[in-house]
Amino acid sequence: MSILKIAKMGHPVLLKTAIPVEDPGSPDILRLIDNMADTMIDACGAGLAAPQVHVSLRIMIFHVQNDRAEHNEESMSLRVLINPEIKILDAKLDVDMEACLSIPGLVGLVPRARKIYYRGHDSSGRLIEEEAEGFHARVVQHEYDHLDGILYPMRMTDLSTLAFRDELGRSVINPEQSNSNNE
């Protein structure tokens, strides 16, 4: 398995709509997923989408670790979603800090739907359907946006809350009120 190069903001692959995967069980797709997992873990991320590793396919992976789970939320091991779909279940928005492996060093306050339903196939072709809220819902929406060519600053309503992580102590943004994880 390999650590893949992560595309950074400004690279055209991050602005394109990714194409659906036609053969989810092919050796090339399975190898890509394994390499994405290695890359995400190496970069200490919570999620990664194929466009972030220069592959414009509708594949995303994520996990929710104990230290990132919120309230009654449970941790979750690595989840693969191929050709995912999302449906908003609660129109109320939660605003929280987000970071991104494709935008290293920066964090910002991003509004996201509080509760979602998602579905997609795993690497074995099994259908996954789940409702999510909290950090789980946030990471799914963040990675799903990558499949549609959207980076989190495009979702921000106040760019004055975009900051370098190492400057948060001097900022008007209160880092204690949020969970600024790489996604």
pLDDT digit string (tens) for the chain, length 183 residues: 799 999 999 999 999 999 999 999 999 999 999 999 999 999 999 999 999 999 999 999 999 875 555 555 555 789 999 999 999 999 899 999 999 999 999 999 999 999 999 999 999 999 999 999 999 999 999 999 999 999 999 999 999 999 999 998 765 555 444 544 556
Tokens 């099994």 correspond to 126
Cα angle vertex 167, ends 100, 172, to 5°? 100
Domains of the chain with CATH codes: 12-177 (3.90.45.10)
Q: Which of 2, 5, 173 is nearest to 99 (CA)?
A: 173
Distance between CA atoms of residues 59 and 93, nearest Å? 25
- Catalytic residue ranges: 143
Distance between CA atoms of residues 22 and 42, nearest Å? 28
Evaluate whether 47 touches 139 at the Cβ level (below 8 Å): yes
Q: Which of 143, 135, 137, 154 is nearest to 90 (CA)?
A: 137
Report residue 100 as tokens. Answer: 């991104």
